[in-house]
A and B are shown apart, each in its own frame.
Chain A
């Protein structure tokens, strides 16, 4: 086995690069969401601008998914795992990414003891978020709300635009997810948020010897869990952004937990 110190050092270097990319990812996401929301408020946003911003948001989304997938596929947190290659943006997911089942290719001999139900429950929580996010957007594609999508604002709209024919749920959600205007989805969002059981994190806390991280601290990383979505029609869009941030925060939490867990 490689010396512990050496591993840690390399891991920290990767960490630096990774966090820089993550912060850029976060910046681009924040800026794009801000522009997207502002353009939505306009009566007639510039079509070229809208298309470019939407495409950027899709890229960010697929990047986040790729990150989550690669993180949840890790069974050995402290092993040298190549950081997701941020210079190569993953193409938009054309297939249903299954996060809950363990990646058979990643089975290694020296498993961390901690790879157990908690690990699966975390990754399944993440996959549940992503799948529910898709479902929420798809479900919202019903009778149209009074708010018009920016890309359709210049059209003389019929009351109910026809539903798209979709080949796969993920592909369609990749296209429509962030372009869907605010629709009342409070009930679906409530369900989504309730699915994430904070008690999932509690067993790990018991294993964190010598750390002063409390359950409250961890829950702070997931602020949206304690909030109820507002009733405004734009909340779902904000919640989509929040869901992304939730994913980010969950990753961050996972990171902390993995990093601080002692090696066997």
Chain B
């Protein structure tokens, strides 16, 4: 096991913080729908079903409080998207935030993109800690001064004030998606970004909101012939002309924007041949890729399907180089999971900063980590019961059959309503954020 042994590359994950209500009754609007660290890891953003964005900032470590080791506290909260109504189609557009992506920081302000099903917004988050005092034409409370009373001229002075964090929408990228947006990805040129829905991928310029380029379109002439949709897309971390998109049939296509304006024809096609012995009615559904992420190095990419995580070498299209089983014990339960819709759950996955480990979520508030070098894996749980400060997390185990050992949990006892779909790993340190329904857990490595 990865934890508790110590030494080498072993992690020892400890509870750090939990954000969110303790209430048993979870309000639908409070369910976290996306989690993302910014490029430095100083800021951690969450989006929820109610269309709100909450940004946490890491406190500077001070000599006095060595043990606190940089806690995340609320930095800014704002309503990013509101529910809308499409009158033309009589459709309600959910305000749920599907994705948040940070832009690299270029000045004192922070910028992020947030997307719901139809619209992407660019938000500027800036700090204000000074204000001007001593205006000539108005009083301190803002009321206009009587002109006849003004006898002198003075220069306003900047005075310190309590820190105020303001979030303002700088761009709204709308009306470009007929279908539901599932991904946004900032390009390495820091000028463009892509947005993907079920059937199309668009390329935007961050400065231009009234038009975008459509670069992928898989919509058939007759919708009744549709058998495959786009499930995720991402730009290459270094090559600004390369991006990938995954499909509901378990395939990944890598496209080069230099090849053609429309990237309907892929440059590379990644697909693992099917194992005939494990074929079932649910083979296609469980092969549907729910997330795709490039490694930081840009040499690999990782895909998440229902039961596993696969690491692909971009130079090898015919099979992944590594496959990790997340919860293979669910394979015999697929019919029930199909019936209760759990089979359609979209789990995300993430790399650590050095690409040596990967993490993804599961049910019962379990999440899994895999060390790519040692091939060891661990299952941990995000729960209030393990939420004592700096308490080390105990590895969890699911009993698949036979005698259940102490501390093991049987497959039938798993709570499928407690699902961890969204996780994030600090880009530089061993700090992870795990979203469990309406709570955000932050864990840190003890040897951090």
Query: Which A residues are closer than 8 A to B by beta carbons?
Result: 24-25, 27-28, 31, 43-44, 46-49, 51-52, 54-56, 59-60, 63, 87-89, 149, 151-152, 154-156, 161-162, 164, 175-176, 179-180
Residues of B166-221 at the interface with A, using a CB-CB cut-off of 8 Å, are 178-180, 198-199
User: CA–CA, A87 to B275, complex, Å?
Assistant: 11
- Contact (Cβ within 8 A) A51 B228: yes
A149 and B224 in contact, given A31-B338, A47-B180, A154-B89 (Cβ under 8 angstroms): yes
- Contact (Cβ within 8 A) A60 B281: yes
- Contact (Cβ within 8 A) A152 B223: yes
User: Could you show 8 A-B contacts with beta carbons less than 8 Å apart?
Assistant: A24-B335, A47-B180, A47-B199, A48-B229, A52-B344, A60-B281, A164-B224, A176-B224
A156 and B282 in contact, given A31-B339, A48-B248, A175-B224 (Cβ under 8 angstroms): no
- Contact (Cβ within 8 A) A43 B90: yes
A17 to chain B, nearest CB (A): 15
A216 to chain B, nearest CB (A): 34
Given contacts A56-B281, A156-B88, 12 further A-B contacts (CB under 8 A): A28-B281, A47-B179, A48-B231, A48-B344, A51-B248, A52-B284, A89-B279, A89-B281, A151-B223, A155-B178, A164-B225, A176-B224
Residue among A51, A56, A175 with the highest chain B CB neighbour number at 10 A: A51
Residue of A with least CB distance to B278: A87
User: CA–CA, A89 to B278, complex, Å?
Assistant: 11
User: CA–CA, A188 to B173, complex, Å?
Assistant: 49
Q: Does chain A have a CB within 8 A of B288?
A: yes
- Contact (Cβ within 8 A) A164 B248: no
Q: Which of B180, B226, B284 is A151 in contact with, Cβ under 8 Å?
A: B226
A88 and B222 in contact, given A56-B284, A154-B178, A155-B178 (Cβ under 8 angstroms): no
- Contact (Cβ within 8 A) B225 A175: yes
Q: Does chain A have a CB within 8 A of B276?
A: yes
A35 to chain B, nearest CB (A): 8
Contact pattern, B 277-314, Cβ under 8 Å of A = 1, otherwise 0 = 10101101100100000000000000000000000000
Residue of B with least CB distance to A150: B223
Q: Main SS of the interface on chain B?
A: loop
Q: Does chain A have a CB within 8 A of B260?
A: no
Residue among A47, A48, A51, A88 with the highest chain B CB neighbour number at 10 A: A48
Chain B residues lying within 8 Å of A43, measured Cβ to Cβ, are 90-91
Q: Main SS of the interface on chain A?
A: helix
Q: Does chain A have a CB within 8 A of B151?
A: no
User: CA–CA, A81 to B178, complex, Å?
Assistant: 52
Residue of A with least CB distance to B281: A28
Chain B residues lying within 8 Å of A154, measured Cβ to Cβ, are 89, 91, 178-179
Chain A residues lying within 8 Å of B315, measured Cβ to Cβ, are none
What 10 pairs between A and B have smallest CB-CB spacing?
A47-B198, A151-B223, A152-B223, A28-B281, A52-B285, A44-B91, A164-B222, A31-B339, A179-B224, A48-B229
Chain B residues lying within 8 Å of A59, measured Cβ to Cβ, are 281, 284
A183 to chain B, nearest CB (A): 13
A55 and B284 in contact, given A27-B335, A28-B335 (Cβ under 8 angstroms): yes
User: CA–CA, A156 to B179, complex, Å?
Assistant: 12
Chain B residues lying within 8 Å of A31, measured Cβ to Cβ, are 335, 338-339
Chain A residues lying within 8 Å of B284, measured Cβ to Cβ, are 52, 55-56, 59
Chain B residues lying within 8 Å of A89, measured Cβ to Cβ, are 279, 281
Chain B residues lying within 8 Å of A44, measured Cβ to Cβ, are 89, 91
- Contact (Cβ within 8 A) A48 B224: no
User: CA–CA, A56 to B89, complex, Å?
Assistant: 28
User: CA–CA, A52 to B229, complex, Å?
Assistant: 9
A27 to chain B, nearest CB (A): 6
User: CA–CA, A155 to B222, complex, Å?
Assistant: 11
Q: Does chain A have a CB within 8 A of B106?
A: no
A49 and B344 in contact, given A31-B339, A60-B281 (Cβ under 8 angstroms): yes
A165 to chain B, nearest CB (A): 9
Q: Does chain A have a CB within 8 A of B413?
A: no
User: CA–CA, A166 to B288, complex, Å?
Assistant: 28
Q: Does chain A have a CB within 8 A of B64?
A: no
Chain A residues lying within 8 Å of B198, measured Cβ to Cβ, are 47-48
User: CA–CA, A155 to B284, complex, Å?
Assistant: 26
Chain A residues lying within 8 Å of B226, measured Cβ to Cβ, are 47, 51, 151
Q: Which of A46, A49, A87, A162 is B222 in contact with, Cβ under 8 Å?
A: A162
Chain B residues lying within 8 Å of A48, measured Cβ to Cβ, are 198, 229, 231, 248, 288, 344
Chain B residues lying within 8 Å of A164, measured Cβ to Cβ, are 222, 224-225
Contact pattern, B 401-413, Cβ under 8 Å of A = 1, otherwise 0 = 0000000000000
User: CA–CA, A142 to B91, complex, Å?
Assistant: 27
Chain A residues lying within 8 Å of B147, measured Cβ to Cβ, are none
User: CA–CA, A155 to B228, complex, Å?
Assistant: 17
Chain A residues lying within 8 Å of B281, measured Cβ to Cβ, are 24-25, 28, 56, 59-60, 63, 89
- Contact (Cβ within 8 A) B90 A55: no
User: CA–CA, A161 to B91, complex, Å?
Assistant: 21
Residue of B with least CB distance to A152: B223
Q: Does chain A have a CB within 8 A of B227?
A: yes
Chain A residues lying within 8 Å of B225, measured Cβ to Cβ, are 164, 175
User: CA–CA, A79 to B64, complex, Å?
Assistant: 86
Chain B residues lying within 8 Å of A156, measured Cβ to Cβ, are 88-89
A55 and B227 in contact, given A43-B91, A49-B344, A88-B276 (Cβ under 8 angstroms): yes
A167 to chain B, nearest CB (A): 12
- Contact (Cβ within 8 A) A51 B222: no
Contact pattern, B 121-159, Cβ under 8 Å of A = 1, otherwise 0 = 000000000000000000000000000000000000000
User: CA–CA, A47 to B335, complex, Å?
Assistant: 21
- Contact (Cβ within 8 A) B285 A56: yes
Chain A residues lying within 8 Å of B199, measured Cβ to Cβ, are 47
User: CA–CA, A88 to B339, complex, Å?
Assistant: 22
A149 and B223 in contact, given A47-B179, A56-B284, A89-B279 (Cβ under 8 angstroms): yes
Residue of B with least CB distance to A155: B223
User: CA–CA, A149 to B180, complex, Å?
Assistant: 17
Chain B residues lying within 8 Å of A155, measured Cβ to Cβ, are 178, 223
B119 to chain A, nearest CB (A): 16
B47 to chain A, nearest CB (A): 19
- Contact (Cβ within 8 A) A47 B224: no
